[in-house]
Each structure stands twice: as structure tokens, then as C-alpha cells.
Chains A and B, each alone.
Chain A
Amino acid sequence: MRPMNMLRALVLVALVAVAAAGCAKKTVQTPPAPPAETPTQTPTPPVTPTPTPTPTAPTTGLPLDQATLGKLQVVYFALDSDAIDEGGQSSLDANARALKSTTGDFVIEGHCDERGTAEYNQSLGERRAKAVQQYFADQGIALSRITVVSYGKDRPAVEGSDEQAWSKNRRAEFSLRK
């Protein structure tokens, strides 16, 4: 998909989602048991006016898949820090837009570089992931979709003992909930 087309698709999906927001929230939070009147029916999206008809017409967004997750931007941190800097904020803004057009749960993984100790890094990694979680929550992403897991320094993105490797390893990234 070319960038323009993708953008259009995203806008479309977003509009649909906004239009269906009220129903969508209810759909998500309704217990799985369907109403008695339609016991055998699979849940169908409620009919809602949409500016442009689309073939799939999702009301709550596309199910989150690996492809979407893979396009999310990794957020990087300074040494010993769980603060989200300006670059991190713009990455997270883009990520939040993409995630809001989807449904489904995901994991925020917090990671650290090898310059911290194993135990302290397990705690720091969680603080990084939780900082991202809070940022998403402020952008309107349901907390119920998010699981936070810290890997400390045990899952580096890049092997190596220089600033180039370290800066790539101090990060929060995203994965599907298993």
C-alpha cells in the first residue's frame, strides 16, 4: 500500500471508529454472552451512518495483528531514565493513532541496556513500559487492552557494548499478547 492510500485508509477507519464510538465502547465492554433473543447469531456490527461505505465496515477497528504492531515505532530512553522525550512523544502519538483504529490487546515491553544491573533494570524496564502505557491512556486507548512486561536487560535488541547498541536497547516496544 502506498503511503497516500494507507493514510486514506487510516482516516477512513478512524472516522468509522469515531462515528461508532458510543456503540463501540459498549460492544467491547459487554460480557461475551449474547442477548437471549439472538442466541445463535454471531455479533454483527450495529448499523451506523458512515460518511463513506467501506467493504469491511468495522465499527471498532481492525483486529490488531502482527503487521500493524510491526509498524509501530519503538520508543527510546535516556540512560537510567523512564522519561519520554520529544522524539518519544511523536513516536507515541503516531502509535496511538494507529492503535486507536484497531481492537485487541497488546503488550508494551520495557527494556534496558546492559549498563544497569539485572534487578534494577527489571524495575526500570517496567517504569518505561508504564510511562508508555500512561501516555496511551492519556490519548484515549483503553487500559484494558494493555499488558506491561519488563524484560530488564535480558532481551537486548542489539548485541554490543557501545553507545550505539545501548541506545537501541533502552526502549519500549510492542508485541501481541500471547
Chain B
Amino acid sequence: MRRLTLLFAGLLLLPASIGAAQGDPAEVKLEWKSGSTARLPLRCEPFAPVGDRDARTTSVQGDEVLAADLAGSAVFQVVKTWDPTSSGSTPQFVTGGKWTVRGTQLKLSGELRDFPGRRPILVKEYSGPVADWRGLVHRFADDIVLQLTGEPGVAGTRIAFVSRAGRDMELCVMDFDGHGLTQLTNDRSIARSPNWSPDGSLLIFTSYRGGTGPQLWVMNPANRKPFPISTRSGINTSGIYSPDGQRIACTLSQDGNSEIYVLDARGGSPQRLTNNRSVDTSPCWSPTGREITFTSGRSGNPQIYVMDSDGGNPRRLTYDVDYTDSPMWSPKGDRIAFVSRTGAGFDLYVCRSDGTGAQRVVSGGSNENPHWAPDGRHLVFSSNRDGALALYVTDLDGTPPRKLETGGRKALSPAWSPRH
């Protein structure tokens, strides 16, 4: 139990005080403690294959996917009993169960037990087509995380991103673990900066497909039909849905200079939020929808600011860092991730939503466009840290970022989907 307490202190977000002295009293302020590597030691035992011949073929793959999901949750330190190279502390929990294949149907009987007592903590059945075995494993993994933390995991989420081949940048989507990569555009143009609608059904992105510069387009990844949202003269960039999905914050230069606007969800009724001679861009809503963080060059070089979502009360958040951009408000509202220039590249930082406590969380190479996982435990970002541009995930606990497979494509500009 002591380990559990440590874990919660280290990894989870403790409500410290509601309506802290600084900032909007309506925002819940949360304490974040970083640098902890405390994870729950968990032992993964293989599923017992039952039924058809290919039950074993898929079950051994299922074993690996469950272990990867649980390790990727940043909640567990995973030991795989079938892998002699896998080792760790004495486990507190053990997973396993039965993997039954009948024709085209799979029944996954998942079990989470304490260890060594093996008393059941979670026993649950998941049924579906064998073809969707990954989906069933992801659901089991997310339920395990839910059972032990009170909040589901993110194994069922997806990541949208942009792949670059030569001059062309195309929008793509894949599962959070890199599986099932699908290219969504084939414009031979530039696509950039995707963001999901809050229900996960739509992607808004910047595209040059119209031939007259950057415009905002929206696509349902299921049918891949893009439709225009803002094609106003000048630039139309940095589109992002409000938490209720009713509005879109974005950058437009229709009035001569990059300013932040809020549009309705169809791209109409623009409301201008900023008004100065320098660049304002990269808006991101707070989870309450009451505030917007953004980047402005009004103080000389780009810095992070926060304003009310009607444009009022703008205040500067970052001071002691160089050129900063790409602010992303965490799903719980307690933190803001951003990038700051260091030498030839960018490092990732996370600060509290009032700008205090900025910590560098990723450095080495150039690291850009951080985007939060819906559980607030991870950031996905693009980096050239190993040479070619690729996507990485940091668990914000001091462990090295892990690379996401993108089928050999150069990848950038990621956006983590909400839970479906």
C-alpha cells in the first residue's frame, strides 16, 4: 500500500487548492509533481489460447500488445513472463486470462489479480471479431488502468499527424501505438497542424490544397472528404475546437496581420480576440473553454500568453525562456506545455497554468508541436533527435521518450485524439 501512495503522489494530479490566489478562481488549480519514476510493478502472463488453430497465433500477439499498452500507460512497470530479457521489481499485480477463438469470433476473458495472492481485482470478458483483436486488448488495458487509477487509459486513442515525402505533406492517422496507419489526404500539397474535435469525429487542419495559401479544412477520417472551414484572404491557420465543439479558435490575417479569432463550428461569424501589430497565433482553449492560451510577438520575440476567451484580460505567461510557441493546455487544466528555442532546436517545457514552475521535459535535437494525451500523462511530439523527423511520446517522468512507428515515413505535427 505504501508503494501505491507513492505512486499517487508521484504520477497523479492532486487537487491542492481550489481557487488558488492567482489566476481565474473558476479554474481548478492542481499540483503536479514531476520526476517521479514510481510505477506499479505488474507481471504479464500470456493468455491461454482456446479453440481454433489460429487462437495461438493471435494470442501471442495479444500478449505483446497488452504488455505494450500497460507499459505505455506510464502507470505500470511491466514484466513479461514469456520474455527472459524482461525484469523488474517484485510484482504487485498480475494479468492474464483466456483467449478463445470460435470461427471469426474472439472472446477475451481478461483477468487482473493481486500478486502473489492472486485474488481477482478485475475479471471481464470482451467479445468481437477476431479481426478486431487489437481493439479488444486495448479495451482490457484501459479497464486495468481505470481499475487501479480511477481513470481509463489511452490505449484506445489515435494519433493524427502529417507525413512528409519530398515537398508534400499529407495528413495521416494511426492507433496510439503506431498500428493501422492510414493516409487521409492525397493532395500533393501541404497539410499541417491537425486537431481533433472533442468527440473525436473530425479533424481540423491547415491545408494549401486550395492553391492560394494556408486555409482551414475539416475532415471526417472515416470518409476522408475534406470540406473548407475558413478560406479567407491571408493566412488561415492554427484551427482548434473549443471543448464544447461549438467554436473554433484560429489565426487569420484577413485584417492585415496575424490575429486570433473565434469562429463558429462552420467557420462563420468571426470574432477577433487580439489586436496589435505583431504576430498572434497558436491558440489553445483551456478545458473549461473560458480561457485561451496563445503565442504573441508583442513583447519582441514570441512568448506565451493567456486571455479570456472573449479576448479580455491578456497576460504574459513566460518570461525566462527564449522564443516560445505551441502552447497546449493539459486536459485537466493544470498545466501548459510549450516549446522554447535552445540553440538550433526546440526543447519541450511544461509549466503550471499560471506560468510558474516551468520545467524542461524533453531536450536533445529539435522537439516540436507537443500535444497532450487525454489522460494528461503523456505528450506526443515531433523530433529529429535520432536524425529523421519522427513522432515520440514522453511520459513526463524522466524516462526517455519512445519513438512511434510510422511505417518509415517522416512524421511531424501530431495530435492525440480524445477517448472515443
Q: Which residues of A contact B (CB under 8 A)?
A: 80, 114-120, 122-124, 126-127, 130, 147-152, 154-155, 161, 178
Quick check: is B281 within 8 A (CB to CB) of the other chain?
yes
- The 15 sampled A-B contact pairs (Cβ below 8 Å) are A114-B366, A117-B323, A117-B346, A117-B369, A118-B368, A119-B238, A119-B281, A119-B282, A120-B281, A120-B297, A122-B192, A122-B235, A122-B251, A123-B235, A123-B258
Which of A114, A119, A124, A148 neighbours the largest number of chain B CB atoms within 10 Å of its CB? A119
CA of A14 to CA of B279 in the docked complex: distance in angstroms?
A: 38
Quick check: is B353 within 8 A (CB to CB) of the other chain?
no
- What chain B residues lie within 8 Å of A149 (beta carbons)? 212-213
Interface residues of A, dominant DSSP: mixed
CA of A127 to CA of B278 in the docked complex: distance in angstroms?
A: 9
* A80 and B214 form a contact (CB under 8 A): no
- What chain B residues lie within 8 Å of A155 (beta carbons)? 167, 190
Quick check: is B149 within 8 A (CB to CB) of the other chain?
no
Q: How far is the CB of B405 from chain A (nearest CB, A)?
A: 23
CA of A166 to CA of B149 in the docked complex: distance in angstroms?
A: 47
* A126 and B258 form a contact (CB under 8 A): yes
* B281 and A122 form a contact (CB under 8 A): yes
- What chain A residues lie within 8 Å of B111 (beta carbons)? none
Return the chain B residue nearest A125 by Cβ.
B235
Return the chain B residue nearest A129 by Cβ.
B213
- What chain A residues lie within 8 Å of B235 (beta carbons)? 122-123, 126, 150
Return the chain A residue nearest B341 by Cβ.
A115
| New A-B pairs, 20, CB < 8 Å, besides A117-B346, A123-B258, A151-B190 | A115-B344, A117-B282, A117-B339, A118-B368, A118-B413, A119-B251, A119-B281, A119-B295, A120-B297, A122-B258, A123-B237, A123-B279, A123-B281, A127-B258, A127-B279, A150-B235, A152-B192, A154-B190, A155-B190, A161-B344
* B214 and A150 form a contact (CB under 8 A): yes
- What chain A residues lie within 8 Å of B279 (beta carbons)? 120, 123-124, 127
- What chain A residues lie within 8 Å of B251 (beta carbons)? 119, 122-123
